[in-house]
């Protein structure tokens, strides 16, 4: 009876759990740990801890410290690389395992996946930063807009009075640059205004194909092809077609810009599990996942946290607002926009949109 309860406990735990003996060989592991590692129990049991966790020396060190000292170490946070190349943010708790005589005969390790929680915390920080930026941007944009209109008007009047085409070229530069700045200011103001979404049921694949049609010429010029893996079972999604099309255009254009050599951009759609995107303040629902994967240069790790920061850009001629606007549009739809990138291996943009009408 006790063994059966023990088995049920191990199976029911959402945290990864394993036990190592005095030689640090793994003698117990539960299904949650198998899922974290991407390995079946048959490949884990009776293997040295250091062999299974070659890229996570912190785990072996903490297990050894617990075994030697008899102390429990609680919720030490670290990164756990997986075999598929992804990295989990985890907290590790280690406790000594005693026999009936009080002798330490092994170590119990409990690994909790905190990746989703850290992503939600980062999202909350981004939303807070965007709200603060919007307040400042609204004031600054209004202060700049009126003088800018004055400069443009004066340049237009001056252009009419100048006698030669050569001199009028200079005023044309002023007019074009003030128009460019005015467009940037309007974009900033759009970030500060409440957005009214015009939602209608839309075929997400038709929206994607429309953007691919618009980008086919620049893609062909760079030797880039698009591969589509669409899930035909996806139902129509209630969304603002114009705004979501803008999101797809921004993301695909970014993918093209990142491709320095001929290659492939892959578009995949499918239904996503609730647990992948569920935030504490949102009602449970199902999501459509639109994944855009490029083969570009990737994004350096040190700047990945800044990608959704207004006015931050890695491009020589970029406003630094494309991703911010895309992030807000997806969030206004009740969805999520995530970017994952590895230098030299490309970037994956994941757009999650709720399948329910309410969003």
Digit-coded pLDDT (tens) for 124-152: 666 666 666 666 666 666 677 778 888 88
> What integer best gives the mean pLDDT of the chain?
83
pLDDT of residue 280: 44
pLDDT of residue 28: 92
User: Is 342 found in the same domain as 210?
Assistant: yes
**Integer Cα distance of 284 and 287 in angstroms:** 10
pLDDT of residue 171: 85
CATH code for the domain in which residue 108 is found: 3.30.450.20
Q: What is the DSSP letter of 344?
A: T
Mean pLDDT across the stretch 45-58? 90
Digit-coded pLDDT (tens) for 275-301: 555 444 455 468 999 999 999 888 777
User: Is 238 found in the same domain as 94?
Assistant: no
pLDDT of residue 285: 65
Tell me if 359 is assigned to some domain.
Answer: no
Tell me if 47 is assigned to some domain.
Answer: yes
Pick the closest to residue 207 from 270, 286, 321, 290 (CA basis). 290
pLDDT of residue 138: 66
User: Is 152 found in the same domain as 79?
Assistant: no
Report the half-sphere exposure of 321 (CA within 13 A, side-chain side).
Answer: 15
Mean pLDDT across the stretch 19-27? 94
Give the pairing type, strands 26-29 and 16-21. Answer: antiparallel
pLDDT of residue 111: 93
Q: How confident is the model at residue 356 (pLDDT cuts 50, 70, 90)?
A: confident
Tell me if 318 is assigned to some domain.
Answer: yes
Task: Please give the structure tokens belonging to residue 77.
Answer: 């946070």
CATH code for the domain in which residue 234 is found: 3.30.565.10
Q: What is the pTM of this model?
A: 0.57
pLDDT of residue 272: 85
Tell me if 94 is assigned to some domain.
Answer: yes
Task: Please give the structure tokens belonging to residue 217.
Answer: 């010429």
Structural domain containing residue 153: 118-192
Digit-coded pLDDT (tens) for 206-261: 999 999 998 999 999 999 999 999 999 999 999 999 889 989 998 999 999 988 89
Beta bridge partners of 48: 25
Tell me if 236 is assigned to some domain.
Answer: yes
Tell me if 232 is assigned to some domain.
Answer: yes
Digit-coded pLDDT (tens) for 165-210: 887 888 888 888 888 777 777 766 776 666 788 899 999 999 999 9
User: Is 298 found in the same domain as 212?
Assistant: yes
Digit-coded pLDDT (tens) for 94-126: 999 999 889 999 999 999 988 877 777 776 666
Q: Is the pLDDT of residue 358 over 60?
A: no
CATH code for the domain in which residue 138 is found: 1.10.287.130
Domain finish residue from 192, 209, 240: 192
Digit-coded pLDDT (tens) for 321-333: 778 888 888 988 9
pLDDT of residue 37: 85
**Integer Cα distance of 128 and 340 in angstroms:** 21
Mean pLDDT across the stretch 65-93? 87
Tell me if 122 is assigned to some domain.
Answer: yes
């Amino acid at each position: 009876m006790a063994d059966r309860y023990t088995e049920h406990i191990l199976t029911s735990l959402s945290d990864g759990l394993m036990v190592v003996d005095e030689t640090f060989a793994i003698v117990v592991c539960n299904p949650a740990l198998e899922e974290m590692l991407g390995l079946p129990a048959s490949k884990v049991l009776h293997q040295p801890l250091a062999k299974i966790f070659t890229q996570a020396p912190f785990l072996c060190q903490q297990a050894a410290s617990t075994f030697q000292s008899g102390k429990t170490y609680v919720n030490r946070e670290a990164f756990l690389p997986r075999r598929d190349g992804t990295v989990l943010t985890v907290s590790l708790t280690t406790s000594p395992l005693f026999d009936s005589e009080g002798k330490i005969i092994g170590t119990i390790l409990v690994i909790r996946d905190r990746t989703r929680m850290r992503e939600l915390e980062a999202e909350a920080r981004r939303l807070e930063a965007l709200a603060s930026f919007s307040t400042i941007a609204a004031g600054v944009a209004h202060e700049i807009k009126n003088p800018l209109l004055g400069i443009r008007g004066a340049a237009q009047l001056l252009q009419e009075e100048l006698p030669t085409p050569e001199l009028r070229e200079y005023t044309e530069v002023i007019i074009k640059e003030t128009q460019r700045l005015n467009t940037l200011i309007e974009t900033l103001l759009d970030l500060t205004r409440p957005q009214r979404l015009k939602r209608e049921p839309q075929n997400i694949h038709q929206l994607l194909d429309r953007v691919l049609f618009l980008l086919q010429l620049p893609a062909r010029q760079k030797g880039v092809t698009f591969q589509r893996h669409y899930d035909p079972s996806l139902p129509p999604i209630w969304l603002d077609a114009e705004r979501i099309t803008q999101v797809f255009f921004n993301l695909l254009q970014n993918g093209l810009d990142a491709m320095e050599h001929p290659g492939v951009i892959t578009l995949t759609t499918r239904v996503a599990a609730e647990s992948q995107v569920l935030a504490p303040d949102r009602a449970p629902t199902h999501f459509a996942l639109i994944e855009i994967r490029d083969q570009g240069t990737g994004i350096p790790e040190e700047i990945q946290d800044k990608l959704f920061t207004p006015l931050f850009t890695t491009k020589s001629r970029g406003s630094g607002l494309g991703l911010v606007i895309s992030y807000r549009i997806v969030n206004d739809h009740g969805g999520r926009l995530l970017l994952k990138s590895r230098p030299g291996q490309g970037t994956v943009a994941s757009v999650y949109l709720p399948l329910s009408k309410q969003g």
